[in-house]
């Protein structure tokens, strides 16, 4: 939330992520592959959807989405945060969702790498 109108960056910092993790109205999606999640676990507070299937999952019926992810399906105005390992794949998914009309999609650019490092501090 930088208040600069049209020129919002839609990039999320670690501190902003910490706030979002406490907010049930924000959907955090870890878009890494299953193999990576098996190795590290998913980002706390997130649901896991591999990058290639995010758009498909957002096409599920509301109740199917809820059943599968135990979170409400976001609408085009919902705040969505995407995270991967280092911000590249999540940026690609961010663009894809923006093209589909999702207006409030953020990239946690630091991704799992930053998250993991911060936990060691
Ligand atoms: O996770 S990554 O695409 O930034 S390497």
In this prediction, the answer to ipTM > 0.85 reads yes
Look at residue 3 in the predicted model and tell me its pLDDT.
47
121 is catalytic: no
Q: Render pLDDT for 23-80 as a digit per residue (tens, 0 to 9).
A: 999 999 999 999 999 999 999 999 999 999 999 999 999 999 999 999 999 999 999 9
State the distance from the centre of ligand 1 to the C-alpha of 95, rounded, in angstroms.
15
Q: Is 86 in the pocket of ligand 1 (CB under 6 A)?
A: yes
| Secondary structure in 3-state letters for 1-60 | CCCCHHHCCCEECHHHHHHHHCCCCCEEEECCCHHHHHHHCCCCCEEECCHHHHHHHCCC
The atom number, within ligand 1, closest to the CA of 85 reads: 1
Q: Is 111 in the pocket of ligand 1 (CB under 6 A)?
A: yes
Q: Is 89 in the pocket of ligand 1 (CB under 6 A)?
A: yes
| Cβ atoms within 10 Å of 65's Cβ, excluding its own | 18
Look at residue 76 in the predicted model and tell me its pLDDT.
97
């Amino acid at each position: 939330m930088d208040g600069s109108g049209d020129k919002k960056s839609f990039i999320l910092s670690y501190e902003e992520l910490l706030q979002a993790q406490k907010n049930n109205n924000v959907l955090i999606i870890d878009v890494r592959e299953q193999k990576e999640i098996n190795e590290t676990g998913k980002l706390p507070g997130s649901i896991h959807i591999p990058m290639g299937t995010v758009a498909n999952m957002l096409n599920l019926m509301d109740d199917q989405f809820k059943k599968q992810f135990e979170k409400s399906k976001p609408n085009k105005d919902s705040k969505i945060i995407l995270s991967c390992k280092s911000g590249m794949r999540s940026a690609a998914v961010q663009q894809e969702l923006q093209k589909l009309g999702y207006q409030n999609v953020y990239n946690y650019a630091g991704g799992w790498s930053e998250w993991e490092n911060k936990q060691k501090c």
